[in-house]
Structure 1
Amino acid sequence: MDITIHYAFLPHSDPDASLAFWRDTLGFEVRNDVGYEGMRWITVGPPGQPTSIVLHPPAADPGVTDEERRVITEMMAKGTYGAVTLATKDLDGVFERIQASGAEVMQEPTDQPYGVRDCAFRDPSGNLIRINDVS
């Protein structure tokens, strides 16, 4: 089989803050920015790579109830709803740059007992962003 990851989806609570974090702090390129009925879907990705992350309004699905929207909003605020793991060859440099941006640090670069060295942040919407060292 020949299967690749094309898109991953993360919710956003503030499209402008999310855009600034993913584009300006992480250096991702904006591939699409679509508005519809007061909502925005922003597609970003690392330059030179085909994989993208779609930052989406979490309540856009018409099948989501008001109670589910409330729970999603609460989970996003606690940082327990969305997550993604990224990778870099310069974990310490990336950590310093993201920390300097004012992003919420969840974990400084750490050697994990399961064999990776990583750090963690939350984006402006509360999504957990783990970054693994692949040097």
Structure 2
Amino acid sequence: MDWTLEVVLLPVTDIDRSVAFYRDQVGFDLDHDTRNEQMHVVQLTPRGSGCSIVIGDLPSQREMAPGSMRGLQLVVADAAAAREELTSRGIECSEITVFDERDGGTFFGFADPDGNTWAVQQITARGERPLIPLDARQRFGAEQEG
């Protein structure tokens, strides 16, 4: 039986500000933004990922301190290009560090407006062999929006 990690709850202070950061600056896809009298929940997914982040005001999220998530990890095929993309969108990033010359040993990081931190790891094989093939990336929300 497969057990897949598909959602990580991310504690933030301002949902709309965080949507703007993750969608417009980091480049995550907005899957849905659901508001009603009980809740406001937003799901965003990095391109090519099977795992999304959910920001909102669900009871479990209200128990978490905004900015308390540390070291969430993204993987890219080219760390220098990814860092340039983020810095060109106004995101402050750490310098690229090579911990190991082998593939997978190169990293940089950034934080969201609340202080949740992200590590970005370079694995060059992701450029040729993405974890989710391009033809399998149609998400339920994207099908509905049309």
Interval containing the TM-score (normalised by the shorter chain)? 0.7 to 0.9
- Percent identity between matched residues is 30
Partner deviation per Cα, 1:101-134 (whole Å, 9 max, x = no partner): 22233x2111125962110000122110111001
Q: Structure 2: 5+ residue runs without aligned partners? A: 125-146
1:12 is displaced (CA, Å) by 1.6
1:108 to 92, 95, 116: 95
SS at match of 1:108: coil
Q: 1:3 to 1:36 in 2, by over 3 A?
A: same
1:58-97: CA deviations, max 9, x gaps? Answer: xx428x6xxx77xx25xx2xxxx11310010021111012
Name the residue aligned to 1:86.
Answer: 74
Give matches, 1:25-104, under 5 Å.
25-37=25-37, 40-57=40-57, 60-61=58-59, 72-73=65-66, 76=67, 81-83=68-70, 84-104=72-92
> 1 CA distance for matches of 2:92 and 2:76?
19
The structure where strand makes up a greater share of residues is: 1
Counterpart residue identity of residue 86, structure 1: L
- Please, which runs of 5 or more residues in structure 1 have no aligned partner? none
Q: CA RMSD of the aligned region, Å?
A: 2.6
Question: What is the aligned residue count?
Answer: 120
